Structure 1
């Protein structure tokens, strides 16, 4: 219950205790998911917290609901970090903007490894995300932030001139359906490029997080390589933009 005293709402002690308990439940569940390969159970969480499983049901009626809450938290945290980075210098050139967002994406993954692997790693055994559900909306928020940066500086005409590498009606329909979920203003070829570029950036982060790049052990070396690869990505994107610029505009 929220009461209003003067102009400032106050949260009751009961609500503060509930919020603190929910935070602790999530922290314990996330740790168990990371340490036990997805073998988290409500009984195991309640045991570690020193409460009965019946009491835990008052906060999360099922294991899937708890996992869904953790996934939403992960997407929202990552999207928030990316959006914050985007707000720090929106007037910068498009390439610098994308590089700034890519840095924020990688840093959040390093700082929140368990959450990052929960939303992008091996699916939790037996878990099925609700469809439609809160995880979809949270994922859209992240995609929308990057879609805006990828095509910053592009004109509507340049975006419209993009084409798929070869005619493929099925692929075009599939990409358009994906675009409608994340960036409805993008045609299928543009959304395809967005997914391709995000995959390149995300793939490097995953390789680093999962320790598949041992030759980049020093953090400074890994940072330098990631930024170099991102600059290649920016260069490729600019090359494609130039290729979609009518000849009269390049003169």
Structure 2
């Protein structure tokens, strides 16, 4: 897909990988709408990129419907939707204070997995009626999983389950939406330098980096964004989960 002039939605677009993705899509010529619960951050970046910022809770059907409609009013119907909104709340199944709160587990699933599906279903519904492009393509949905989907660590039960759900969603969604020319691809990042790492001390970060094969460093949000742009431009990528991780394999702890 040629990104020039195409309308794109990015959830979690106000920070981290979402912000980097919004920048990369805009640099490639796309018209970008940033959907985020942190509206102030999204507005600041949207002003810089010439895009629009829309307050949106991805777990709410009405919020996402309203946000997609507002983005379409500004830029036209979206051809690209990138799901970057998510949380990485940690918690042991049974900790010092007893079993993990069911509400805590549910919240991670609601935001990461159900939020992703909510945007996917509503974005795809809008894409299916668009005029086909080359190869009959009408749109693209890129989801964000994690290497934790495959080797979740202790304390990541909720997070790994939510990201594993996104991986499991990818192929059936791609197969179903193929009939209307909508591709679905998931990226599973490894250790990416985002605000989620801000609370870790240097020793903890160094320990995580040590498990990376090459390059021996944290990934950059811009590297995630570059892959999103490549996926958009390469129509043969579909129904796949792509690890972006420097060959890291997370240890047990």
TM-score for the superposition, normalised by structure 1: 0.33
**Greater share of helix:** 1
**Greater share of strand:** 2
TM-score for the superposition, normalised by structure 2: 0.32
